[in-house]
Amino acid sequence: MKQLMLGNAAVARGLYEAGCRFVSAYPGTPSTEIPECAATYKEIYAEWAPNEKVAYEAALGAAFGGARSFCSMKHVGLNVAADPLFTSSYTGVNGGMVVAVADDPAMHSSQNEQDSRHYAIAAKLPMLEPSDSAECLEFTKLAFELSERFDCPCLLRTCTRVAHSQSLVELSDRVEHMLKPFERNPVKYVMMPANAIKRHPAVEQRTADLVEYAESAAINRVEMGDTEVGYVTSGTGYQYLRECFPNASILKLGMVNPLPVKLIADFAARVKKLIVVEELDGIIETHLRANGIRVDGGKDIFGPCGELSQNRIRAALGMKLPEFVSFDEPVPQRPPALCPGCPHRGLFFTLSKLGVTVMGDIGCYTLGALPPLKALDTTVCMGASISGIHGFNTVRGAESAKNTVAVIGDSTFMHSGITGLVDIVYNKGVSTVMILDNSITGMTGHQQNPTTGKTLKGEDAPAVSLEKLCGAVGVKRVRVCDPYALDELKAIVSEELAADEPSVIIARRPCMLLPEVKAAPALVVDKDKCVGCKLCMQIGCPALSFGDKKAHVDPTLCVGCELCTQMCRVGAICKREAK
């Protein structure tokens, strides 16, 4: 049976068909739907882990335990999981293990655009790269075979366009894989120096074996056509090239690490010019040059930044671009914004009014950096707000501690914030940390996390108590407040900043978009009372606009949170019945 499927859903289908039993993941765009879809198969145990390192280690443990296992993450998640990644290359697996990593060229939803192929090279692991949904399914199944045949985790690299586009896949039945026995083998599984040193040559031999496999693997495919120019490509590059040049000669690499040498050299010999088309870094190109294969075009014409596209390829090769219908009027910009009723809004307004320095983190609350709130001063990676404030305050002294806060979401705190808090307590730091607890992992689209009381499969689970956790690591001042109550919030932040010991403020209110949260009726502006002072506009609510010297509430957007009511000094924004 054929079915139209999202790339991520096709990877999940591949897990099902390959007999995978264990999935552990941490959400991250554009990879999140893989575990979500995998969880819909009753044959697969699937869970959210608190972070990618835990997900990786759990999947590795399941593979040691003899099952086919899987974990997934976005590209920056692989940084978090890098420690077990490298050493699992030495231990190898028992049951097959596949690791999906989704890159985000053009940074649709990421803080950088790193190229995950570097990890495959550095960790000496095989990496497959599908270019459509059918290959997502097929390559996932193949990745398990390679993992077991070469005794190592196998990486599967996707990117936003492959993960989030739909194409046809052919469905097959699941093939069960019984648990393999776990046989004690310390030399293989206990990576202390005396054992690991013996494993390293095995890793090198495996790379040589994988290169040999890559030379004749069916997923490294030569499609001969016009021999004036030959293109070496992988992933999305293949799709764009085929659309631009239906008759071109293309070497499509389905396996992007390790790369074949003879296959590419033979292909190069059959074409007059050789051009390498790859997104982000020039990894294939460098490999070709290192092996003495002539490259006539690559990163010098395409550059290493952003996504490729049909027109970018055409433009880089000096071709005429197809004509497009264009609008006479420019399309208005729609920058991302905190939703109406978002519990983070009042908090950032308060911090902005207090004029404090805010060490930010990654989540919906990163949008607090945008105007008019403009409340964030730093954002690096998940968890960096808390460890960052510790370093910042330590070098800048007591005055800084009275004027600086760290803000972090509930999911991010569980991911990697807790260790930063331990650092503060242990090293006698004095910093104020605010946990923005909206009871969900909001940014990536409402995934459960250890504080929410639900699992990925939708079952009830014990919820980690943030206040008890912070107390247990030694924070004596833990306050809980409602971020909708602006005056109370301001008072609490001021008190905690003045304290001479570490403190945590948990600003708790569920995300307005959660199905169980009911919106209040939309507010209205009493035009007679509104003096046009624009104070209400300072909170940057998308439901508020200003025109004809008066504020307006869009009733289709307003959820009645009454933050604007608290801003208005003349009582002009009120509930409908109060007007």
Ligand X SMILES: Cc1ncc(C[n+]2csc(CCOP(=O)(O)OP(=O)(O)O)c2C)c(N)n1
Strands (E), 94-235: 97-103, 127-128, 154-159, 166-170, 220-223, 226-233
The only residue of 14, 30, 35, 77 in contact with ligand X, by rule CB under 6 A: 77
Nearer to ligand X by Cβ, of 254 and 388: the residue is 388
Binding residue (CB under 6 A) for ligand X from 237, 363, 420, 429: 363
Site for ligand X in 310-349 (CB under 6 A): none
User: Cβ 438 to ligand X, closest distance in Å?
Assistant: 5
Please tell me whether residue 552 adopts helix, strand or coil conformation: strand
Provide the token pair at 569: 């000094």
Our CB check for ligand X shows the closer of 245 and 365 to be 365
Decide whether 131 or 352 has the Cβ nearer to ligand X: 352
b/e burial code for range 308-335 (CB count within 10 A of at least 16 → b): bebebbbebeeeeeeeeeeeeeeeeeee
Which residues does residue 411 pair with via DSSP β-bridges, in sequence order? none
CB of 80 to ligand X, least distance (A): 5
Least distance between ligand X and beta carbon 433 (Å): 13
Stretch that binds ligand X, among 24-32, 38-46, 173-181, 324-332 (CB under 6 A): 24-32
Closer to ligand X by Cβ: residue 257 or 411: 411
Q: What separation in angstroms does the CA of 107 have from each of 7, 199, 367, 385?
A: 18, 37, 15, 21
Give the DSSP letter string of 91-125: H--SS-EEEEEEE-TT-SS-S----THHHHHHHT-
Shorter beta-carbon distance to ligand X: residue 25 or 62: 25
Question: Among residues 514 and 535, whose Cβ is nearest to ligand X?
Answer: 514
Q: Which is nearer to ligand X, 94 or 449 (CB)?
A: 449
Residue 52 in contact with residue 29, Cβ under 8 Å? no
Output 393 or 441, the one with its CB closest to ligand X.
441
Nearest residue to ligand X, scored by beta-carbon proximity: 409
- Cα 436 from Cα 409, distance rounded (Å): 5
- Of the candidate spans 16-24, 26-34, 386-394, 556-564, the one that interacts with ligand X by CB under 6 A turns out to be 26-34
Nearest CA-CA partner of 511 in 418, 402, 438: 438
Here's the x/- map for ligand X, 27-46, by CB under 6 A: it reads as xx------------------
User: What CA–CA distance (Å, rounded) separates 334 from 369?
Assistant: 16
Which residues, in sequence order, are bridge partners of residue 233?
252, 277
d(CA 31, CA 445): 12
Residue 401 CB, nearest approach to ligand X (Å): 24
**Interacting stretch for ligand X, rule CB under 6 A, among 160-168, 273-281, 361-369, 513-521?**
361-369
Nearest approach, Cβ of 441 to ligand X (angstroms)? Answer: 4
Closer to ligand X at the Cβ: 11 or 76?
A: 76
Fill in the amino acid letter for 197.
Answer: I
Q: Which helix (H) or strand (E) holds 72?
A: strand 69-74
Question: Measured from the CB of residue 11, what is the shortest distance to ligand X in angstroms?
Answer: 17
The interface region with ligand X, picked from 69-77, 92-100, 257-265, 422-430 by CB under 6 A, is 69-77
**CB of 290 within 8 A of CB of 259?**
no
Q: Does residue 435 bind ligand X (CB under 6 A)?
A: no
Smallest separation, CB 266 to ligand X (Å)? 40
| Segment lying near ligand X (by CB under 6 A), choices 137-145, 270-278, 409-417, 421-429 | 409-417
- What whole-number distance in Å separates Cα of residue 418 and Cα of residue 502? 13
76 counts as binding ligand X under rule CB under 6 A? yes
Which of 13, 21, 74, 206 contacts ligand X by CB under 6 A? 74
Decide if 451 contacts 462 (C-beta within 8 A). no
Of 258 and 409, nearer to ligand X (C-beta) is: 409
Q: From the list 8, 257, 412, 448, which residue makes contact with ligand X (rule: CB under 6 A)? A: 412
Smallest gap from Cβ 52 to ligand X, in A, equals 6
Residue 362 or 530 with smaller CB distance to ligand X = 362
Query: Which region among 76-84, 254-262, 369-377, 554-562 touches ligand X (by CB under 6 A)?
Result: 76-84
| Strand partners of residue 253 | 220
Task: Say how many residues touch ligand X, by CB under 6 A.
Answer: 23
State how far the alpha carbon of 291 is from the alpha carbons of 123, 251, 256, 271, in Å: 21, 17, 16, 17
Least distance in angstroms from the C-beta of 285 to ligand X: 28
Residues 249, 411, 432, 448: which binds ligand X (CB under 6 A)?
411
368 binds ligand X (CB under 6 A): no
302: part of which helix (H) or strand (E)? helix 299-302
Per-residue binding string, ligand X, 437-466, x by CB under 6 A, is: -x-xxxxx----------------------
**Rounded CA gap, 52 and 482, in Å?**
30
Distance CA 157, CA 281 (A): 14
Distance (Å, whole) CA 6 – CA 9: 5
Nearest to ligand X of 362, 497 (CB atom) = 362
CA angle 353, 358, 359 (to 5 degrees): 170
Find the shortest distance in angstroms from Cβ 475 to ligand X: 19
- Work out whether 80 is an interface residue with ligand X (CB under 6 A): yes
- Give me the least distance between CB of 73 and ligand X, in Å please: 6
Q: How far is CA 191 from CA 188, 199, 486, 524, 535, in A?
A: 7, 9, 53, 66, 62
Q: Which stretch, 274-282, 386-394, 435-443, 468-476, contacts ligand X (CB under 6 A)?
A: 435-443
Nearest to 99 by CA among 257, 278, 307, 304: 257
Nearer to ligand X, 237 or 483 (CB): 483
137 binds ligand X (CB under 6 A): no
Q: Does 362 bind ligand X (CB under 6 A)?
A: yes
Site for ligand X, rule CB under 6 A: 26-28, 74, 76-77, 80, 362-365, 382, 409-412, 436, 438, 440-444
